[in-house]
Amino acid sequence: MARAANKAGIPDEVFSFLKELWKDVKEKVVEETWLRIKKEVYKAQKRFSGETIAVFGPPAAGKSTLLKVLQNVNTPAAELQTFSKTELEEQGDINVDFKLSVGPDEQVRFRFKVRKNSDVGGEEYIRKLHWPAVIKGAAVVIYMLEGPKLLSDDSQIYRERVFADFDWLLEQSQLLHENFAIVLGFNKVDELCDTTTYKSFVREHGDLLEKLKLDIQDRWPEHLVSHIKGGIFLSLLEPRLRAFTLNGLVSCFVGDELMKLYRQPT
């Protein structure tokens, strides 16, 4: 009697063996990937601990709010919604504490201390007065953007302001850490979408943020463009959307390569 075979013409017992073998291999690969993630998380935590971040950008983009969220990711929205103009306010060390998954059922606390940070205003006269001290030695620069303004009728005016800030940053780039990374933070996503539409919003407008990054890179010399890492969509006020954007915040500190690795098993 001929042995049963599946549609591919492979005998059923051989097909079942190959299927189980592939399952074992896949599980082994995923297990090894999670192990690599755990190692990289601890390495990133050790590498970044004690470094300097710089958070700046135009007025009302959410700079002060981001610093508060870094100190406590679960800060109630009511404590974040007060706005007051800041010129320069030196702050003490920030203890950053996130939870990161390092396995299907395992999380580790990603902790580090930011050695120095300053809450600085975004007005152009403040850029000249205080931004040099804020970016000095910074390993990570988070440039905050008021997202809705990039989608408004006056978006070109806003983009020109952004370009002027990055032209200034290029002139001052010698002040930064030698391995500095710059991330664009498209903030106030909660004004444009909710948790049910967030993913589709990001897919729809991802090209907008990417084009802004490329336009900035075109203004920088080739040997420095790799320091401009890309953009993240942020919602700092809406707690549920804040959870959606948490990985974006983490990627500012653990780096792009680790985040690519982190996304692989999901």
pLDDT tens, 220-265? Answer: 999 999 999 888 899 988 888 887 776 666 666 666 555 555 454 4
The closest alpha carbon to 54, from 252, 261, 266, 257, belongs to: 252
The residues near 80 (Cβ < 8 Å, ≥ 6 apart) are 65, 68, 69, 236, 237
CA distance 38 to 44: 10
Mean pLDDT of 61-78: 81
The lowest-confidence range among 106-110, 118-122, 224-228 is 118-122
Within its chain, how far is the Cα of 237 from the centroid? 16
CA distance 121 to 130: 9
Element (H, E) at 258: helix 256-263
Task: Please check whether residue 137 is in contact with residue 175, taking contact to mean a CB–CB distance below 8 angstroms.
Answer: yes
Task: Please check whether residue 61 is in contact with residue 147, taking contact to mean a CB–CB distance below 8 angstroms.
Answer: no
Query: What pLDDT, on a 0 to 100 scale, did the predictor assign at position 142?
Result: 87
Query: What pLDDT, on a 0 to 100 scale, did the predictor assign at position 21?
Result: 54
Mean pLDDT of the chain: 77
Q: Are strands 138-146 and 181-187 parallel, antiparallel or unpaired?
A: parallel
Query: What pLDDT, on a 0 to 100 scale, did the predictor assign at position 86?
Result: 67
Query: What pLDDT, on a 0 to 100 scale, did the predictor assign at position 215?
Result: 96
**For the chain, percent of residues with pLDDT exceeding 70:** 65
Give one DSSP letter per residue of 13-49, joined into a string.
HHHHHHHHHHHHHHHHHHHHHHHHHHHHHHHHHHHHT
Mean pLDDT of 34-59: 75
Is residue 173 classed as helix, strand or coil in its secondary structure? helix
Q: Are strands 94-103 and 106-114 parallel, antiparallel or unpaired?
A: antiparallel
pLDDT class of 147 with cuts at 50, 70, 90: very high
Residue, of 128 and 78, whose pLDDT is higher: 128
The pTM is what? 0.76
Residue 60 has pLDDT above 90, yes or no: no
CA distance 68 to 18: 53
Query: What pLDDT, on a 0 to 100 scale, did the predictor assign at position 220?
Result: 96
Query: What pLDDT, on a 0 to 100 scale, did the predictor assign at position 164?
Result: 92
Query: What pLDDT, on a 0 to 100 scale, did the predictor assign at position 224?
Result: 94
Residue 64 has pLDDT above 50, yes or no: yes
